[in-house]
Structure 1
Amino acid sequence: MSEQLADERASAAPAPAPGQVGGRTVMLIPHRTSGAETTLPPDYQRILAVVRRAAGPVMARQVVGDALGIDVSVRAKLEPLRGKLVRLVDRGWLRKLSDSRFTTRL
């Protein structure tokens, strides 16, 4: 019985949420593979380019203010960017450090 419960829990683990494009289910931010950068949406490509150009790990506020030109004094504009950064971390494009800074994957 416990094995069956363990199997059910493992199969119920949440998978990345896919989107719908042209009636087909697709993952909007794909997992990182070689040569897949061109498949990222333009916003994500700009974010990735900013993090790569930085001299070291960056905070979400630095990415927004310095490169994307969004007003960082408004928290409502900062949180969507933080979500995009976390999505890039989840898919293997970036790495999040323990101090909430983001850097590129090696």
Structure 2
Amino acid sequence: MVDPEVLERIVTRRAELDEVEEQLAKQLDQVRAERDELAVAERVLQRMTEQIADARATAAPETAQVGGRKVLLVPHRGECPDESALPGDYRRILSIVRAVGGPVQVRAVGEELGLEVEVRGKLEPLRAKLVKLADRGWLHKRPDGKFTARL
């Protein structure tokens, strides 16, 4: 014979455990749903990051109006340390100066670009670009007029 008091305790405890199991199952479902939402959010964030990077890479350089003419904006190095923010010809000039590895004259950069270095007027626009890169922190202009790349 089973004691009715023991049987009642067993039934009560089983009911308590069933209730705890139900609560844990609900919590597990909530955790799984939140994990699924986080996985979706990660995929969306990754896709958006890639799209933004692609847009920045293909975006045209910013221009501004100065004296009724459009001019390219060259950002300061501190504002945007990524060279992709520079217009294409400025990136090319920067890569030439870096490739030399030491002080370089405007004439040498012009030769590398295929300019007519014998004609002084052809080098002045290039000199202005080199000075602009130096003023914005991308290059260093030495007292002797040569330029070096900043590290």
Moved over 6 A (4+): none
- In structure 1, what is the equivalent of residue 108 of structure 2? 62
Aligned residues of 2:77 and 2:137 also touching (Cα < 8 A):
yes
1:79 aligns with 2:124: yes
Comparing both chains, which one has the higher relative contact order based on Cα–Cα distances under 8 Å and sequence gaps of 6 or more?
1
How much identity, in percent, do the aligned residues show?
Answer: 57
| TM-score between the two structures when normalised by the length of structure 2 | 0.51
**Distance in 1 between residues matched to 2:75 and 2:123, nearest whole Å:** 23
1:94 aligns with 2:139: yes
Q: Which of the pair has more CA radius of gyration?
A: 2
Tell me which amino acid in the other structure corresponds to 1:30. P
Aligned length: 83
- In structure 1, what is the equivalent of residue 84 of structure 2? 38
**Distance in 2 between residues matched to 1:92 and 1:83, nearest whole Å:** 14
> Given the superposition, is the C-alpha separation of residues 102 and 35 from structure 1 closer, same or farther in structure 2, using an over 3 Å criterion?
same
Question: What SS is found at the alignment partner of 2:98?
Answer: helix
Aligned residues of 2:72 and 2:87 also touching (Cα < 8 A):
no
Is there any run of 5+ residues in structure 2 with no aligned partner, and where?
Answer: 1-62, 66-70
**Distance in 2 between residues matched to 1:64 and 1:105, nearest whole Å:** 20
| TM-score between the two structures when normalised by the length of structure 1 | 0.72
- In structure 1, what is the equivalent of residue 149 of structure 2? 104
Q: CA deviation at 1:27?
A: 6.9
Is there any run of 5+ residues in structure 1 with no aligned partner, and where?
Answer: 1-17, 21-25
Question: What SS is found at the alignment partner of 2:144?
Answer: coil
| Structure with the larger helix share | 2
